[in-house]
Chains A and B, each alone.
Chain A
């Protein structure tokens, strides 16, 4: 069982690599953008502030100078209460001359000591009245040596956004009247238009942070109210997540504040949407990671699984397994090496078998060679001749038969024709007949076409020997019948005797291919065992020797080998 799948590790690594850089860089981006945005806004706002400050200061100071000049002009001082038209024209002329250049940015009015407007560069307001105990005239009277600047008293005077007033005094410091400069909203906007663009917010506040002027953009977001509220409550002017980025500067010589606002695109909502984007991207990325991880790991585990299956198969003994991987990567290498390994293993096994067979054959040869001393053969030959010379034919027959047996046994090669083997058996039987004085009969039944079948040397003889020696022991006579036939490509050689037969136990042992042993552990009936072994080694388990009891008594031994006319050894 796989406990720690590398698939999971793969997925984990994918996700780490896929998500973490994404999230980190996303957050970093937001952070950097936020900082950058702030810095830009701060810079722009301060720039706007600077420009506005210089523009307003310039305008107000020029106006102040003019008003000072007016307040000091004798002509005007004397002419305030003048009713004569001629004199009034002269006063107007002076007024207009002094205010030349500034009349586009303000209306100049002269009030008498009771607050009635006597002269005005504005078409409409002659004879308008202002309270002298209140507001700008009162201030002007109190601060007799300077020009006071106040937020326009728009309830009393619909148009004025900003009012400047200066008291006009005679040499005895009595108040003769007032000169007032009124700047309307349009005029103020015109003055300010030089310094900033109307897309950003700009407002001018008085010393109590009440709105004097606000650009349309500032009005739209209630910038002045917001500033005032925050200052009243002692809060920070610019707070996180604000739509507007606000800076303020004081013009203390005029008791005014300028406030510049820049649109903050980086609001809390915007940040939230960016974060949402990151989250969505991360989710998508995660999905892609999972998907890709699946594919990649499948691509990796498939060859591994194939290899494991092949190995299991090989474990079971199948060496013909061949992966034949078409891959050219490391897994391909693994598969190819495995294929080579099994091929090698197979050849090795085959070699082993071959070598074992060779060994067995050597053993066989050795065993068979035990039957082959040269000098015995020569001696027998000599014996035959001497016997013939001395006219003892039986000896000549015995030695001639023995020599014939040995001849076959000496000849090289482990296989001989069936006809030759039978000839050998005949010779053997002849000898045994002489020994046992014809006590038994021997018959062979063999079809002619089978006579050139190839059989291993000396396989029939031991069987027959066994029948003679053991089957006919203590018997008066016996019969041996050799029957040879072919059936389904198998050559059957049956040797049947009607002798003593063997016990069931012995039969079992023989059929099992084991050597028989007597009480002392010494091997008995070794010939049959040898034949059985020779057959098995040459032809394998399916062929060999089988012994069975004959119903009337006796033993039938059957040799089964493949019917071959040739044998490639």
Chain B
């Protein structure tokens, strides 16, 4: 009997000892809820970095940034819609955003009248942020300047077969937009599926994992030409890459990206502040002066010589699944 008591005393003391010694060092910095914001962004760091930081400096609000691909982030927001973690979706082409408008909160910004109206969402579920044309790039060392690609139609010839750097449209929003642009512009000669088939044949089964990667392929010379957005191309050029930009003669889409406030955002007031900031003078000027992008503000935008087509967002959205399937089928066949 005594022995049992002794044993149990020992056991208990062992347990207590092992549980002890839990000191925890917690300093008392921590933002309180009213000074927090959660942003999901599809932008590159060169874009969102300075903007978020300037916002933090000016407002004192601490921002938690979650990065990812446009569709990836939109799916996350959709999954979290019962208890939203995200306040703001920052970035993503308006074609992607318009497919998820029921996730967003309609808000008309204070400078809405100063914004270009062509891609304005009818319920202001998102607000445009910046815009950039889709362009061709070519490796200046390997492509003779007279032999650069000029038109979308050209890309369907087998002249450029196997030499086109193109991001996977199921992953890259801008790549999908490019594909839809191609289909639309070549729509006078080829129907949708035919255009996809011809284009995919020319890709010879190779897709890049992202739009920046596609540019790098051209820079390194593994591919002669590529399709990407103007700002990325300009950035690489500024860093010394020997690539050239071609604005497609048969037109191209100049699709803006946007900012949206999530329905039920935990920090809605701060989200509104952020959205306002994105279309403010300073940010829009910065975009033009330092980020190789075009402002969506009529009063700030510098006129460019790009012939913009009208891009049918709804059509792009409706056909998305099929288009990507078709592309993958043919790509798979080519591999």
Contacts and interface: CB of A to CB of B under 8 A. Distances in A.
- A joins B in a complex: yes
Interface residues of B, number: 36
B18 interface: yes
B26 A237 contact: yes
Describe A's contact surface by its main secondary structure.
mixed
B102 to A, nearest CB: 28
B18 A237 contact: no
Interface stretch (A27-35, A56-64, A329-337, A382-390): A27-35
Contact of A133 (B10, B22, B281): B281
A236 B26 contact: yes
A151 B14 contact: no
A393 interface: no
B21 interface: yes
Contact of A234 (B10, B30, B46, B57): B30
B40 to A, nearest CB: 15
A232 B29 contact: no
B24 A133 contact: no
A20 B10 contact: yes
Contacts of A24: 10, 13-14
A153 B53 CA distance: 9
Contact of A208 (B26, B63, B290): B63
Interface of A: 12, 16, 20, 23-24, 27-28, 30-31, 34-35, 38, 42, 129, 131, 133-135, 138-139, 150-151, 153, 155-156, 207-210, 229, 231-232, 234-240, 246-248, 250, 257
Contacts, number: 91
A28 B64 contact: no
B286 interface: yes
Given A133-B286, A135-B54, A150-B57, 4 more contacts: A131-B286, A234-B31, A237-B26, A238-B26
Contacts of B289: 129, 131
B36 A232 contact: yes
Describe B's contact surface by its main secondary structure.
helix
8 contacts: A30-B18, A31-B17, A131-B290, A133-B281, A208-B53, A208-B63, A232-B31, A248-B27
B45 interface: yes
A248 B25 CA distance: 10
Nearest to A32: B21
Given A31-B17, A131-B286, A236-B24, A155 B29 contact: no
Contacts of B7: 16
B85 to A, nearest CB: 11
B117 interface: no
A35 B21 contact: yes
Given A151-B53, A231-B29, A234-B30, A133 B285 contact: yes
Given A131-B290, A133-B285, A240 B24 contact: yes
Interface centre among B13, B17, B30 (most CB of A within 10 A): B30
B290 to A, nearest CB: 6
Interface centre among A24, A134, A238, A257 (most CB of B within 10 A): A134
A250 B290 contact: no
B290 A31 contact: no
B282 interface: yes
B215 interface: no
Interface centre among A20, A234, A257 (most CB of B within 10 A): A234
Contacts of A246: 25
A370 to B, nearest CB: 75
B20 interface: yes
Interface string B237-256: 00000000000000000000
B41 to A, nearest CB: 14
Contacts of B57: 139, 150, 207-208
B108 interface: no
Contact of B286 (A23, A134, A239): A134
Interface string B202-228: 000000000000000000000000000
B27 A237 contact: yes
Contacts of B49: 155
Given A208-B63, A232-B36, A153 B24 contact: no
B31 A231 contact: yes
A276 to B, nearest CB: 14
Interface in B1-34: 3, 7, 10, 13-14, 17-18, 20-27, 29-31
Interface centre among A24, A27, A208 (most CB of B within 10 A): A208
B194 interface: no
A236 B17 contact: no
Contact of B14 (A12, A23, A208, A231): A23
Which 9 A/B pairs are nearest by Cβ-Cβ distance? A236-B26, A238-B25, A234-B30, A208-B56, A236-B24, A133-B282, A155-B46, A232-B64, A155-B50
A45 B53 CA distance: 29
Interface string B272-286: 000000000110011
A116 B19 CA distance: 62
Contact of A153 (B36, B50, B285): B50
Interface centre among A42, A155, A210, A238 (most CB of B within 10 A): A155
Nearest to A23: B14
Contacts of A42: 25
A82 B182 CA distance: 53
B25 A237 contact: yes
A42 B31 CA distance: 25
Nearest to A233: B30
Contacts of B285: 131, 133-134
Contacts of A236: 24-26
B62 interface: yes
Given A27-B17, A134-B54, A250 B25 contact: no
